[in-house]
Amino acid sequence: MIETKRLILRPLAPQDEEAFIRGISDDELRRMYGFPAELSADKARRIFARFSTLPTAYGLVRKTDKVLMGFVLDVAPELPEEVLRSLPKDGRTLAYATFPPYQRQGYMREALSAMIEDHFHSKSTSYIHCGYFPFNERSDALLRSLGFKTIGQHTLGSSTIIDKIRFKA
């Protein structure tokens, strides 16, 4: 668990399921984060079930009212093999989403900043990778403001992912 001024990042829990499903079912969020266009309730429940079994899938929870506002996945680097060979072995990939109506309020900046700090100062992580879809200009701006640099792009299924990386200073 990681705490910030306004947030608690904690493992996803069963009580988060309905808020998670509502969040990832939003039309704009589905487009921005590449969730399927036809996201049935059953498919959304399967996504939640998969995420909630990961020990490094964090719910983004507002302290004041305990509302689930999004998530951050902290996983092994998800980069093409040829890129991974050129990087240190101790990197992480952070994948994230903020649910409407909580976007554009600085919550994800606060969450990612705390996770970066935790990785670089409490764990032996030498770099963090984040990827985003080319049309997600807000993610690009957020990552640039946090010191991430573009290192290339790769294909995931039929989608292009822009890869950004930040090394430990």
pLDDT digits (tens, 9 = 90+) for 39-82: 777 888 888 898 888 888 999 999 999 999 999 999 888 888 88
Share of the chain above pLDDT 70, in %: 95
Q: What gap in Å lies between CA 143 and CA 147, rounded to an integer?
A: 6
Q: Domains in the chain: how many in total? A: 1
The pLDDT-based confidence of 151 (bands split at 50, 70, 90) is very high
CA angle, 21 then 25 then 31, to 5°? 140
pLDDT at 31: 67
Burial class (CB in 10 A: 0-12, 13-18, 19+), 10: middle
pLDDT digits (tens, 9 = 90+) for 9-25: 999 999 999 999 888 87
pLDDT at 27: 75
Higher pLDDT, 157 or 61: 61
pLDDT of 32 higher than 70: no
* 12 touches 50 (CB < 8 A): no
pLDDT at 134: 87
- As a residue count, the chain comes to 169
Whole-structure pTM value? 0.88
Domain at 23, CATH number: 3.40.630.30
pLDDT at 7: 97
* Closest to 80 measured CA to CA, from 5, 155, 148: 155
pLDDT at 41: 79
Q: What gap in Å lies between CA 100 and CA 121, rounded to an integer?
A: 31
pLDDT at 43: 82
Looking at every residue in the chain, the average pLDDT score rounds to 89
The pLDDT-based confidence of 36 (bands split at 50, 70, 90) is low
Domain hosting residue 112, numbered range: 2-167
